[in-house]
Amino acid sequence: MKHKIEVKGIKLYAFHGCLEEEARIGGHYVVDVTIFTDFSEAANTDDLSKTVDYVYVNAIVKEEMAIRSKLIETVGQRIFSRIKTELNGVLDLAVKITKLTPPINGDVDSVAIVIEG
C-alpha cells in the first residue's frame, strides 16, 4: 500500500542567494516535504517507529536550511538526499523550497524549486 505524509509550510529565515546582501540580510523561505511510504503497520499498531517521523523531517529541513548556499537548488538537493538516506520506508519524495519576495528586479511573490524522485 502507498501512503503520503506531508510536512507543509515549514517557515524559515535563511541566508541563501548569489547576492552579497542576501548573505547579510537573509530572507523568508517556506519548505514543503511530501513523502510516499507504507504506514500500514504503524496505523495498525499505533507505533511511531513503524512510520516516517515528521519531527525528524522538520529537523533535517531546519539543519540544511541553516547552511548557506548560493542556490536553493543546492539546499533542496541536500534535504532530499538526507531524507532518502536517513529515513526508513521512503518510497518516493518531493521537496519544494519557496523563496519569498526574491530580489530579481521585478514584483514577484516567490520563486520555487521542486525535487521529486
Active site residues: 99
CA 61 – CA 26 distance, rounded (Å): 17
The set of cell numbers assigned to 55 is 519531527
**Per-residue three-class SS string for 40-99:** HHHHHHCCHHHCCCHHHHHHHHHHHHCCCCCCHHHHHHHHHHHHHHHCCCCCEEEEEEEE
